[in-house]
Amino acid sequence: MLFNSIDFAIFLPIVFVLYWFVTNRNLKLQNAFLILVSYIFYGWWDWRFLSLIAFSSVVDFLVGLKMGGLEDPVKRKRLLWLSLIVNLGFLGFFKYFNFFTESFTEAFSFFGSEINARTLNIVLPVGISFYTFQTLSYTIDVYRKNIEPTRDALAFFAFVSFFPQLVAGPIERAAHLLPQFYYLKKFSYDEVSYGLKKMLWGLFMKVAVADRLAIYVETIYGHSDLHTGISFAVATIFFAVQIYCDFAGYSLIAIGCAQMFGFDLMENFRRPYFSATFKEFWSRWHISLSTWFRDYVYIPLGGNRVSKARNYLNLFVTFTVSGLWHGANWTFVAWGALHGTFQCVEKGFLDGLRIKVPHVLKVALIFLFTCVAWVFFRAVNIGQAMYILQTIFTRPGTSLYFGDKGMFAFSILGMGILFANDYVQEYRPKFRLLHNPYPAVRFATIVFLLVYIVGLGVFDGSQFIYFQF
């Protein structure tokens, strides 16, 4: 079920009313209800894949319980491996089987050998990368003795399948989210009000900005042989904003939705395009994933407590793997590797420089380099990405393709509103509109956003980009 669908618009109020009026006196009932509606939410897309979530939940719950009763590190490690094999096995099979098969076949044929490898017609279960990482973090944290294993099966199943963040995050840690299923929720006007406002802004980001920009981006990237460098450059900037609004919008809806049910999810985006360094960018972009990779990949590799060269390698490997997490395509690997390279260069060369660069220029440069990396993220293959970059830098041309001028104008308008909002949040927080101290301002903002969404939103039922990951 998509957040921007009529199905969800019907689903949410029903669940909300039942949650607060029927299940509000009993914790077990409340958690059981959340599991039920979460499974309905996920099964709406394809009920067959519910078995994967259920199986992962059972395995990790039992592994956690068993691990909690053991002190022998060898046995604990065996249990951890069991969880890793099950979860990463599912992920590897559904997401990467065909990718690796095709890559090996191509590699062999490159060296002159022909091998006959079969690919399978595999449907990628929506959100498998997200809930796999969430449930994995539980077993790893139990293994590391960072958290106590839970004995409450209902709470654990609800933690793994909690519908607001099940399919595209934020990827929550057990230490933060799981304890929230241990106590009965009390209705709070403020929580619901904040939650609704976050959902409204998230919906604006998705349907009024991201989906609007997507039309232009698709027109240019979908016919890359027909366009000039300027058009590619504009489309790439549009894509940078599109993917931000698509994913940050989804995260905000998820966070707001969870808040309506009394849950606090972690912040996932904090105006990333105002970053003045790559390090800062990654502390603002997809925070739940970047901290996951920091804690479970970068630090176990040695983090920065190793030699400089090894530290750079650790950074590079972490970002490259994070690229692969995004999708089974070399374009994502290249995107991750580019960000790894940016980080290494920044850490190795730029941090020590004593040249004073204006903040605004730093922000612009980071945005520019981020856009270069986005070309790989958006292109269908490495060849197209290279062609687009080459065209931008060597054959910019003189004509900009506008496509439908109305759509183009509304894209600019949407980005303008987004930029104004993010600027105010970043630098002038007291002028925030949705959370303004004056009720009339808050009220007018809400009505304006509703009018804008209905009048200028895109209602083609498009999926959130990150669902495919």
Partner 1 sequence: MVTIIKKLAVIAVCFLIIDQAAGLFLDLCRDKSPDGRYYKTKHSLETSDEDVVIIGSSRGEMNYNPFVIEDSLKVTAWNASRGGQGLPYFHAIQNGILNRYVPKIVILNIEGSMLEHRRFLAEAGFLRPFYQGHPEIQPILNEISYFEKFYNRLRLFSYNSSYYYLLRPYLIKGLDGRREDKGWKPRDGRIHEIFLRDTTEIVKDTEPLNEGAVAEFEHIAKTFKEKGSRLFIVVSPNYQVYEDNTPTINYLRNFAKSNQIPLLIHSNDTTMIRNPDFFIDPDHLNRQGSTYFTKKLIGEIRPLLTASL
160 contacts 59 by C-beta, under 8 angstroms = no
437 near partner 1, judged by CB under 8 A: no
85, 115, 122, 226: which one binds partner 1 (CB under 8 A): 226
Q: Does 382 bind partner 1 (CB under 8 A)?
A: no
Exactly one of 354, 356, 405, 430 binds partner 1 (CB under 8 A); that residue is: 405
Buried b (16+ CB within 10 A) or exposed e, 340-358: bbbbbebbeeeeeeeeeee
Binding to partner 1 (CB under 8 A): which residues in 186-215?
187, 189, 192-193
Task: Give the residue with the Cβ less far from partner 1, 137 or 259.
Answer: 259
360 binds partner 1 (CB under 8 A): no
Residue of 223, 227, 286, 326 with catalytic role:
326
- For position 395 contacting partner 1 by CB under 8 A, the verdict is no
Nearest to 150 by CA among 185, 186, 180: 180
Q: Is 20 in the site for partner 1 (CB under 8 A)?
A: yes
Does residue 457 belong to the site contacting partner 1 (CB under 8 A)? yes
Q: What is the Cα–Cα distance from 261 to 252, expressed in whole angstroms?
A: 14
| Pick 1 or 297: Cβ nearer partner 1 | 1
The residue type of 161 is: S
Q: Among 117, 306, 364, 451, which residue sits at the site for partner 1 (rule: CB under 8 A)?
A: 451
- Distance of alpha carbon 381 from alpha carbon 302, whole angstroms: 32
Among 262, 458, 464, 465, binds partner 1 (CB under 8 A): 458
As a whole number of angstroms, the distance between CA 450 and CA 434 comes to 12
Binding residue for partner 1 (CB under 8 A) from 122, 409, 412, 420?
Answer: 409
Shortest distance (Å) from residue 244 CB to partner 1: 21
Distance between CA atoms of 447 and 419, rounded to whole angstroms? 19
Per the annotation, the verdict on 326 as an active-site residue is: yes
CB 133 to partner 1: min, Å: 34
Q: How far apart are CA 131 and CA 469, in angstroms?
A: 11
Quote the least distance from Cβ 460 to partner 1, whole Å: 6
Q: What is the distance between the alpha carbons of residues 419 and 416, in angstroms, rounded to a whole number?
A: 5
Q: Report if residue 107 touches partner 1, rule: CB under 8 A.
A: no
* Coil vs helix vs strand at 3: coil
DSSP-H helix ranges across 296-431: 308-326, 330-345, 359-378, 382-394, 405-427
Stretch that binds partner 1, among 45-53, 231-239, 298-306, 441-449 (CB under 8 A): 441-449
Neighbour count for residue 205 (Cβ, 10 Å): 28
> What number of residues does the chain have?
469
Residue carrying the six token digits 């970059």: 389
The answer to whether 256 contacts partner 1 (rule: CB under 8 A) is: no
Least separation in angstroms between residue 455's CB and partner 1 is: 4
Q: Which stretch binds partner 1 (CB under 8 A): 176-184, 236-244, 296-304, 403-411?
A: 403-411
Q: Which is nearer to partner 1, 51 or 390 (CB)?
A: 390
Cβ 419 to partner 1, closest distance in Å? 21
Alpha helix ranges (H) inside 204-228: 211-222
| Residues 92, 107: Cα–Cα separation, whole Å | 19
Catalytic positions are: 326
**Contact set with partner 1 (CB under 8 A):** 6, 20, 187, 189, 192-193, 226, 405-407, 409-410, 443, 446-447, 450-451, 454-460
